Structures are given as C-alpha cells and as structure tokens.
Amino acid sequence: MKSALLLKVLILSVFLPQIANQAGWMSAEIGRQPWVVYGLLKTSEAYSPSVSAGEVLTSIILFSLVYLAMFGLFLFILLDKIKKGPATDSSREEAALS
Amino acid sequence: MIFSLDINTVWFFLLGILLTGYAILDGFDLGVGALHLTAKNDEERRKVINSIGPLWDGNEVWLVTGGGALFAAFPEAYATAFSGFYMALFLLLMGLICRAVALEFRSKQPMKWWRSLWDAVFSISSIVTAVLMGVALGNIALGIPLNSRHDFTGTFFSLLHPYALLVGLTVLAIFTLHGALFLLIKNEGDLYARLKSLTTKLIIVFYVMLAVTTIATFLVVPHVLANLKAIPVLFIVPAIAFLAAGYLFAAHKKGKDFKAFLASSVTIATLFLSLGLGLYPNLILSSPEAANTLTIYNASSSTKTLWIMLVIALIGMPLVIGYTSFVYRTFRGKVKLDQHSY
C-alpha cells in the first residue's frame, strides 16, 4: 500500500467527491429550469411573494460569508492536522492525559 | 364538539409531539449553551460541553422531523411560515450553525483565544436560538397578518411584538433551567456545587417569567384560551404544568436531580400541549383578518397522503425513540473526559 500513485490518487479523493456532489446538484437545479417541479410548476410561479428580493440577497450573501469562513476554518484545522501527522501511540497517551 | 377525531387532528397532535420532543431534548442542550460561560476553567467548560456531547445533534433531529412533518402534512402552513418568517428562520439557522461549529471546533486547538472565542460563540448562539424559538411561539399565539392567499403581509420587525418577546425570554428562562438541571445530573465536584446554587436562582427567575407570561396570555391573547374555557376539564393540562413546576423546586431542594429534570420536562410538555389545545384546529392564526387563518383542514395534504404518512410515522417513530433511548443509556452517568471527548 505504499505505491506513490495510489497515495496521489488518495490526495485527489479529498476534492473529487466534493466536485461530483456540487456538479450533480447544479445539473439537477439548472437543467430543470424553467421548471421547479418538472412539467408541473414553473419557477416563476413558485417563488414566495412575501419574501422580498432584498431578503433573499441578504441571506445568500450571509450564507456565503459563513460558508467561506467555515471553509477557511476547515483548511486551518486540516493543514494543522497534516503538519502534525498521524498520532503515534505515545502522543495518543499524552492527548488522553492533557 | 370542538375536537373531532379525524386524520387531520391526528397529524395536528403528532406534529405537537415532534415539537414537544424537540423542546424537551434540544431545550436542555440550548440551556447548557446559555450556561456555558458560568463554567470557570477549561476543564469545567469541556465537562459542560461533553455533558451534551453525544446527545445534542440527535436532539436537533426532532426539529428537522417537525419541519418535515409540517411540510408533508400541512404544506400551506409550511409555505406561509417559512416564507413569512424568512429572516427570522434564517437567523435561527445561523444560530444553530454557529452552535454546531463552535462545539466541533472549540477543543480542536489548544490556544486560549481560540477556545474563548468558540466558548462565546457557543453561548451567544444558544441564547439567540432559544429566544428566537420563543418569539416564534409567541407569534403563533398572537396570530400574524395574512392575506386571502394566506401570504404573510407583515415584516420581520412586526414579529417583534412585546408579547412575542416576552415568550422569547420565558422560553430562554425555562431552557436555561432545564439545561442547569441536566448539568447537575451529569456533573460533580465544584462545578456541581456552583450550578446547584445557580439553579435555585434560575427556578425563581422561571417562576416570575411563567407568572408574567400567564397573566399576559390572559390579557393579550385570550383567544388561545377559548377552547379551554369551552371544555373546562382541559384546564387540567396547564394545571399539571404548574404542579410540575412547583414540584421541581421541592425535588431540587432535596437533591433529587433526575426527578427535578423530569419535572421540567413535564412542565415543557404540558405548556406545549396547552398551546396546542388552545390553537386547535388552527395552525397559523391570521390577525387582524381572522377569515384568512390556516387550519388543519384548509392547509392539509390529501387524506390519502396523511394516512400514508401515518403509516411511515408509526414505523419511524419507534426507531427514533429506540435509538434515542439507546444513546442516552450508553452515555448515562457523570461526565468523564477522555481522548474522544470534545
């Protein structure tokens, strides 16, 4: 299991499922337009009249900021974990004591 | 007869059971969040967090199923609530997201500033979430302005009615107390001693809030008492809530922490049931134009859908109750920190 090729593929596997997930979601959402329920209900007939465009924009911006911040945090924690490497038996004992 | 036995009514009360389950379960972990900063050092704070560590995310499932059941059983009410309360629910979701992130990230780095930051985020977002839930409940009791298409015609700020804010603070008070009683079950030593005297104060705060809210309910929203007045025997339900709230103090004084926690659970459940009995058969009251109210009949799915959902619920609910009890039994007893803890 020490093949260099396998290890490189495993690095990519961090990103590939993410890309597959997002791309699949986008094809479903964009490919279905102008329908929100295919053949039954148009998106233009389905939106909430009581939610203003400004409210939708506000929520999109704030959600994006939160997700960006969380992505930053994720990278910070992930890189830190990579730098420290996998736990050895002695470091696990230390962690249990601290 | 005010109450009729049909599938719509069954779903009204099933929805009530899901939301009550949510209030009892996530209620204590929101309360634990509200109390988090009263823990003094890092070890105490980790104990506070790990008291709810294996439980909090399972508790939130009840809110998801409640929302899902509302969507499937009463789609018109779901649409009106989720569009009308758009910004409020957005803030609620932000609160729940921040809470979860704080819990997960806090103990992943040793720096003091890092942990203090997440401690603050955890506590503030728990408080905001609890208050927003109470504000939503207050608006359900008050009624909201709907037009003839059942669309909400108010704004985010019109939801901040003084009665709704009062219910928001009352929910925060009961959740905080509920959380303190849970922490007493799960902890020992200094933390226990400090929480114990704090709990006595929290009980008094809760009594005051409950009394004020009860009086305000009679004055501001007498319409939610109409069903109870029509069938006076139903007043037994709020009476149980008050008895359980009274017993809570006695149990706490005798050091019976688990019984006190059960008493606060019963109080939450019976207060919820009182509101449900008062609202029935309405889901979202329209005020001022009462004719536009959404009921369990004009907001429901087809009868066939409701029956199919009942079968699914009867299979699903025992599974959820089963795994919930399993998790609670597995993690019973006082908190001990190890390398798997938060």
**Chain B residues with CB-CB distance to A77 below 8 A:** 105, 108-109
Helix/strand/coil for B259:
helix
Helix/strand/coil for B144:
strand
Quick check: A77 and B105 CB within 8 A?
Answer: yes
Q: What is the pLDDT of residues B81-117, one digit of tens each?
A: 999 999 999 999 999 999 999 999 998 888 999 999 9
pLDDT for position B68: 93
Q: How confident is the model at residue B35 (pLDDT cuts 50, 70, 90)?
A: very high
pLDDT for position B2: 79
Report which residue type is found at B132: L
Please give the structure tokens belonging to residue B301: 């799915």
Pairs of residues, one from chain A and one from chain B, whose beta carbons lie less than 8 Å apart: 36
Q: How confident is the model at residue B53 (pLDDT cuts 50, 70, 90)?
A: confident
Separation of CA B182 from chain center: 15
Quick check: B101 and A96 CB within 8 A?
Answer: no
Q: What is the pLDDT of residues B12-34, one digit of tens each?
A: 999 999 999 999 999 999 999 99
**Chain A residues with CB-CB distance to B79 below 8 A:** 48
Q: How confident is the model at residue B270 (pLDDT cuts 50, 70, 90)?
A: very high
pLDDT at A94 exceeding the cut of 60 = no
pLDDT for position B38: 92
The complex scores an ipTM of 0.79
Q: How confident is the model at residue A96 (pLDDT cuts 50, 70, 90)?
A: low
pLDDT for position B290: 87
Q: What is the pLDDT of residues B145-159, one digit of tens each?
A: 999 888 898 888 889
pLDDT at B339 exceeding the cut of 90 = no
Mean pLDDT of B287-292: 88
Chain B CB within 8 Å of residue A70 CB = yes
Higher per-residue pLDDT: B341 or B295: B295
The partner residue sitting opposite A66, judged by closest CB among B79, B86, B97, is B97
pLDDT > 90 fraction of chain B, expressed in percent and rounded: 78
CB-CB contact of B331 with A87 (8 Å): no
- A76 to chain B: nearest residue by CA? B109
Query: Please, which residues have CB within 8 angstroms of residue A33's CB and are 6 or more apart in sequence?
Result: A43
Residues 36-65 of A with CB under 8 A from B: 48-51, 55, 58-59, 62
pLDDT for position A15: 86
pLDDT for position A81: 87
Which stretch of A5-14, A30-39, B140-149 has the lowest confidence by average pLDDT?
A: A5-14
Helix/strand/coil for B298:
coil
Q: Distance (Å, rounded) from C-alpha B18 to C-alpha B324?
A: 13
- The average confidence (pLDDT) of chain B is 93
- List the Cα angle B241/B247/B252 in 5-degree steps: 125
pLDDT for position A95: 57
pLDDT at B1 exceeding the cut of 70 = no
- A67 to chain B: nearest residue by CA? B97
Helix/strand/coil for B180:
helix
CB-CB contact of B27 with B120 (8 Å): no
pLDDT at B123 exceeding the cut of 60 = yes
pLDDT at B296 exceeding the cut of 60 = yes
Quick check: A95 and B339 CB within 8 A?
Answer: yes
CB-CB contact of B86 with B160 (8 Å): no
Q: Give the pairing type, strands A41-42 and A35-37.
A: antiparallel
What is the DSSP track for A40-95?
TEEHHHHS-TTS-HHHHHHHHHHHHHHHHHHHHHHHHHHHHHHHH-SPPHHHHHHH
CB-CB contact of B273 with B220 (8 Å): no
By C-alpha distance, which of B29, B34, B17 is closest to B55?
A: B29
Quick check: B151 and A70 CB within 8 A?
Answer: no
**Chain B residues with CB-CB distance to A49 below 8 A:** 83, 149, 151
Mean pLDDT of A48-58: 91
pLDDT at B192 exceeding the cut of 90 = yes
CB-CB contact of B62 with B335 (8 Å): no
pLDDT at B48 exceeding the cut of 70 = yes
- A70 to chain B: nearest residue by CA? B101
